[in-house]
Every structure is written in C-alpha cells, then in structure tokens.
A and B are shown apart, each in its own frame.
Chain A
Amino acid sequence: MQQQITDPQKWMRQKTRISPIEIAFWLSVLAVPYIFFPNYLALANQIAATAIFCISLDLIIGYAGIISLGHAAFFGLGAYAAGILSQKGWGEPITGALFGAIFAGFGGWIVSFMIVRVQHLALLMITLGLGFLLVELANTLDWLTGGSDGLVGIDTWNLFGVFKFTFWGHTAYGYTLGATFLVFLLARRLVNSPFGLALETIRENPQRTTALGVPNRARLQKVFTISAAIAGLAGAILTQTTETVSLDSLGFQHSADIAVMLILGGTGRLYGAILGTIIFMVARDQLSGMNPQYWYFWIGLLLMIVVLFMPRGILGGLEKLMEKVRGL
C-alpha cells in the first residue's frame, strides 16, 4: 500500500478538510432536539455544555497527554465565577461566560506551573488533590458560594438583550450549542496548527522534542491554560442556562464522569469527546428510572469493555470497522 506523494502541502491540507458527514452532524444536532425532542431541550442543553467540557479534557489528555483527575475544578471555577457575577448584579450572558472562562483560565495557568513538573502517580494525585482542595475551599467559603446548599439568586439576562431564557430552554439550547460549535472550531484550529502538532510530539516522546529544541513545559502550560479556560466556559454556560451551581460541579465524581465520557468516545479526535458525551448523558437520562447504583454497574462494565477491546474508544472502533468494510 505505497502512498507516494508529490505535494506535501496538499497532503497536510487534506487531513483537515471538513467532510460532509461533519456538516450533517452539526445540522442534525441543531435541528433534531428542536423539532423532534422539544421536551428534552434541557437535557440537550446539558449535553452541549458538557461536550464543551469534554473537548477541553480531550485537548490535554488526548492531544497533550496530560492526565488529569481533577479537571472539574476548572469547570467549577468558571461556574462559580459566572454565577457569583450574575448574583451580584451582572447577568449579561456572553460577557459573563467570558468572565468565567478567563477566571478559570487564570486558575489553570497558576496550576499549570505545578502540573508540568510532575508525572505518573504524582501528577494524578496532584490533580486529584487540587480538585478536593477546591471543594473544601468552596465549602468553607459558604458566605460566597452558598456552601453545600449551592449558589442561589443567579439571574441571566436576555441573550443579545432579546431572547429570554425560558423554562422551555429554546434560548438556552441555541446559546449553548452556539458556544459548543465555536469551541469546537477553536479546538479544531488548535489541533491542526503547528502548536497542535508540537503537542502531539510531546505526548509521543517528550525526550525527543527536548532534543529538537521544543520548550515542553511552556507548550504544555499553554494548552493546560487554554483547556482550563474552555472548561470554565462550559461551567459558566451551564450555570447561566440552569441558574444553579452546586459543589458537585467541582467534585471528583464530575471529573471522573467526564473522563469516562472521553474514553468512551475516544481520545485525541474531538468528535470522540462529543460522541462520548452524547452517549453517556442520553444513556444516563434514559436509565435514570433505575436505581442510580445500577446505572453505575453498566457504566463500569462498559468502561472495562471499552478499555479492553476498544482502546481507541467507540469512535476509534467505528473508524476501524469502516476501514475493514472498505477493505473488503
């Protein structure tokens, strides 16, 4: 299967071409909930916000190879920042969301100095520990955060001053999906940039990139900061559209759930993060009639099966299947 090329630029470009399937995908996630599932717009909104969060995790885990067990910390930072801003009287959604993103990004930038200096168990434990630390902190600062009761009194103003965030969630879903799409475009641009390629090489072999002159730590700090900001944006948007935040949004369970979604969908391909989020959250919603304990039995089982038999996630498995079908 010799694939000789004469135009290397063309080859690079075609790797990033937008396929018709992608366009169809985005059109359907826009249309399907509004037309066929108007009663599920609240769920669709949650899924879209969580997909932003999952993309942020894919950037650091899938592309840069930094494993974090505490990424919900940044989701929570953005959520509380936007929530408190709104509670104190500024409920404009877009500036509020950006405020949440910048706040979380700043937190990520500070944490990144630690993250890039440790590996393996120490890295896992530091990300885990920082997550717990933040939960405890938010709990202690209950005059600001509402503690374990959650933050109340969030009021989100009309989008663009026109569209009201109603109980039915029409505005909310449009707003969140718009943000998801923009974040996706941004993330796609990032992973297809020279910087994105540099991240992949660091993930593959940090020793070699050093010998090629790459300042590994600076690159990783940058992507961690960007990822934290995106996670914060996800948190801010979910807070604005649901008008609540609780300590759970910062917690380990949330961090673990998002990692589960990412691994289910498949790391390092962006769409894996989106697909994993959709599958996980729709399944959880449909199975929530069951005792939640039993739901976790199936999730646990699915997780083990995916790791054992589909190490590249559901999307990676599908790609492999397609290749086989084409090869026949």
Chain B
Amino acid sequence: MNALETHNLNKSFGSLVVADDISLSLPKGARHALIGPNGAGKTTLINLMTGALTPDSGTVHLGDVDITGLESNERVKKGLGRTFQINTLFPKLTPLESTTMAICERMGVAGRWLSPLANQSDAIDEAFELLKQIGLADDCTKITTDLAYGQQRLLEIALALATKPQVLLLDEPAAGIPKSESAALFEAIAALPEEISVLFIEHDMNLVFTFASRITVLVQGKVLVEGTPDEIAHDPLVREVYLGGADHG
C-alpha cells in the first residue's frame, strides 16, 4: 500500500491547465523529488494534495483513505503535513509558542479555553525537544521575525513535523538559503524517521540527485517521466526538455 496516491488529477484556471491528468504514488518511506521548470505546476500539485486547491476531477488517497472530499485541516489530522515555499509562519509569536500550538492541536487540546497553556507540559516539552532536534532550541523564545532567514526555514519544517505526519510535502525547503547551508538542511530531512514518506520540490539538481530515491518530472502540468535518479539523469526526454542536455549524475 502506498502512503499517498493521486489518481488522474485535473485542474485548470480558465483556459490555463495547471494539472493535467496527474497520477502519482508515494510508497511508504519514500524520498521523492518533484522537479520541473518554473510554472510546471509543482506547488499547484502540492496544493491539490493538501486541499488548499480543489481538483476539477481526480482523487487523492492517503493510505487507503480517499481524502479528496476532506478540508485541508482534516487532511492534516489524517497525517498529511506540508511546508511552504515562502516562509509562512506566525511573525509575532516565538518558535516555542508556534510549535506548542501545533502539538496541542494534534493532541486535540487546542480547543481548551479554561485551562492554562502552561499546564500542557507534554506539549511544551515535546515542542522544546523538537526544536532542539532541529537546532532552534537556543532561539526558541525569540519572536519569529527576529530569527535569521535560515532559522525560519527550519521552523517551517519543525511546524510540519509537529503534526507528526506520515506523509510530508516540502515545497522548496531550502529556498533562499545559501548553498553551504542547504545541504545541512537536507541532511536533517534525510535523517527523518524511516516511516515518514517525503515528497519535496527542489531546484538544485545536486541536492535532488543526492537525496531523492525517486524523481518525477513535471512539465506544463503533466508528468513527463518518473523514475530513479539514474533513469532520470539518462532520460533523453528529460535532458531535452528540462536539463537542457547538461550532464548529471
């Protein structure tokens, strides 16, 4: 059984087709890269998976559950987490608060309005542990806007992890980080527990070929080809359309 599957997803805005019959499957524990030129519909595909966009037709399955009809927040509860390409955080709150909130929500206690937050010791400790793991513990009581950009990218991932996803969709996790740091970030992603399946969008081909076990190439809303890094690197179509004939792998 695959962790995540899409079946024949279609979406268009007026005459612009952004997803054209996309079927994709993510086995359990996958490290799957989604690549393609700008405007190929990569983020759109993630949005269709998470429910931020509704497909015109087609279905999304998480495990053996059809989640196409679920709201975004309900999909998160079923184990589908994501990060955003542009930092999408809580500017005035601290990482500790942000992460604690996410964990409280997962634990189902975020609706409690008569008991103090400070009493949620499990959630707070877990948040602190998570931030330690990802390397944010020292700055976890700073306001988010005061964090360095790279730290904010890490917080993006910490927040997604706080939901304890089975499937994690990362939209250009290293966007805007200097090359020297992005490898470290991907090391952290690679070190995620085996049972989490990861789909990530990334433009840096070196990172893609280092960390992905499978690669899907998306062009103009269509799956051009899918395969192992080796297959993709030697696929003539991919070379022509996307890699521009350059040597890789």
Question: Is there direct touching of A and B in the complex, by C-beta distance under 8 Å?
Answer: yes
User: CB distance A189 to B77 under 8 Å?
Assistant: no
The stretch of A112-120, A125-133, A164-172, A213-221 in contact with B is A213-221
Given A193-B114, A194-B104, A208-B159, CB of A11 within 8 Å of CB of B73: no
The stretch of B59-67, B115-123, B174-182 in contact with A is B115-123
Which of B82, B89, B113, B124 neighbours the largest number of chain A CB atoms within 10 Å of its CB?
A: B113
Q: B163 at interface (Cβ–Cβ under 8 A)?
A: yes
Which of B77, B100, B111, B159 neighbours the largest number of chain A CB atoms within 10 Å of its CB?
A: B111
Question: Which single member of B74, B100, B163 contacts A197 (CB below 8 Å)?
Answer: B100
Given A196-B113, A215-B73, CB of A11 within 8 Å of CB of B141: yes
Encoded as 1 (CB less than 8 Å from any B CB) or 0, chain A from 178 to 197 comes to 00000000000110111111
User: Which residues 1-22 of A have a CB within 8 angstroms of B?
Assistant: 2-5, 8-9, 11-13, 16
User: Which residues 189-212 of A have a CB within 8 angstroms of B?
Assistant: 189-190, 192-198, 200-201, 204-205, 207-212
**CA gap between A218 and B74 in the complex, in Å:** 12
Q: Which residue of B lies closest to A215 (CB)?
A: B73
Encoded as 1 (CB less than 8 Å from any B CB) or 0, chain A from 225 to 244 comes to 01000000000000000000
Given A204-B91, A208-B84, A211-B50, CB of A197 within 8 Å of CB of B104: yes
Q: B residues within 8 A CB of A11?
A: 96, 141
Q: A222 at interface (Cβ–Cβ under 8 A)?
A: yes
**CA gap between A209 and B121 in the complex, in Å:** 21
Given A197-B101, A214-B73, CB of A9 within 8 Å of CB of B111: no
Q: B residues within 8 A CB of A4?
A: 137-138
**CA gap between A84 and B73 in the complex, in Å:** 43
Given A11-B96, A197-B117, A213-B77, CB of A208 within 8 Å of CB of B140: no
**CA gap between A212 and B100 in the complex, in Å:** 11
User: Which residues 138-181 of B have a CB within 8 angstroms of A?
Assistant: 138-142, 159-160, 162-163
User: CB distance A213 to B73 under 8 Å?
Assistant: yes
How many A-B contacts if CB must be within 8 Å? 144
User: CB distance A12 to B111 under 8 Å?
Assistant: no
Say whether chain A's binding surface is mostly helix, strand, loop, or mixed. helix
User: CB distance B104 to A189 under 8 Å?
Assistant: no
Q: B residues within 8 A CB of A212?
A: 73, 76, 101-102, 105, 159, 162-163
**In the complex, how many angstroms separate the beta carbon of B137 from the nearest chain A beta carbon?**
8
Q: B residues within 8 A CB of A5?
A: 140-141
User: CB distance A12 to B124 under 8 Å?
Assistant: yes
User: Which residues 98-138 of B have a CB within 8 angstroms of A?
Assistant: 98, 100-102, 104-106, 109-118, 120-121, 123-125, 127-128, 137-138
User: CB distance A213 to B106 under 8 Å?
Assistant: yes
Q: B20 at interface (Cβ–Cβ under 8 A)?
A: no
User: CB distance B90 to A193 under 8 Å?
Assistant: no
**CA gap between A3 and B143 in the complex, in Å:** 12
**In the complex, how many angstroms separate the beta carbon of A13 from the nearest chain B beta carbon?**
4
**CA gap between A209 and B115 in the complex, in Å:** 21
User: CB distance B118 to A16 under 8 Å?
Assistant: yes
Q: Which residue of A lies closest to B121 (CB)?
A: A9
Q: Which residue of B lies closest to A216 (CB)?
A: B73
Q: A residues within 8 A CB of B120?
A: 194
**CA gap between A210 and B160 in the complex, in Å:** 11
User: CB distance B127 to A8 under 8 Å?
Assistant: yes
Which of A194, A200, A216 neighbours the largest number of chain B CB atoms within 10 Å of its CB?
A: A194
**CA gap between A144 and B142 in the complex, in Å:** 55
Q: Which residue of B lies closest to A12 (CB)?
A: B118
**CA gap between A1 and B120 in the complex, in Å:** 28
Which of B89, B102, B117 neighbours the largest number of chain A CB atoms within 10 Å of its CB?
A: B117
User: CB distance B142 to A194 under 8 Å?
Assistant: no
**In the complex, how many angstroms separate the beta carbon of B107 from the nearest chain A beta carbon?**
9
Q: A residues within 8 A CB of B22?
A: none
User: CB distance B124 to A198 under 8 Å?
Assistant: no
Q: Which residue of A lies closest to B90 (CB)?
A: A204
Q: B21 at interface (Cβ–Cβ under 8 A)?
A: no
Which of B98, B110, B121 neighbours the largest number of chain A CB atoms within 10 Å of its CB?
A: B110
**CA gap between A11 and B128 in the complex, in Å:** 11
**In the complex, how many angstroms separate the beta carbon of A120 from the nearest chain B beta carbon?**
19
User: CB distance A189 to B163 under 8 Å?
Assistant: no
User: CB distance B121 to A204 under 8 Å?
Assistant: no
Q: B97 at interface (Cβ–Cβ under 8 A)?
A: yes
**6 chain-A/chain-B pairs, Cβ below 8 angstroms:** A9-B118, A11-B141, A200-B90, A209-B73, A212-B73, A213-B74
12 further A-B contacts with Cβ under 8 Å, apart from A193-B113, A214-B73, are A2-B138, A192-B116, A194-B123, A195-B112, A195-B113, A198-B111, A201-B93, A204-B92, A210-B73, A212-B102, A213-B74, A219-B110
B residues bordering A, Cβ < 8 Å?
50, 52, 71-74, 76-77, 81-82, 84, 88-93, 96-98, 100-102, 104-106, 109-118, 120-121, 123-125, 127-128, 137-142, 159-160, 162-163
A residues bordering B, Cβ < 8 Å?
2-5, 8-9, 11-13, 16, 189-190, 192-198, 200-201, 204-205, 207-216, 218-219, 222, 226
**8 closest pairs, A vs B, by CB?**
A213-B76, A195-B113, A204-B90, A8-B128, A13-B118, A194-B104, A12-B118, A198-B110
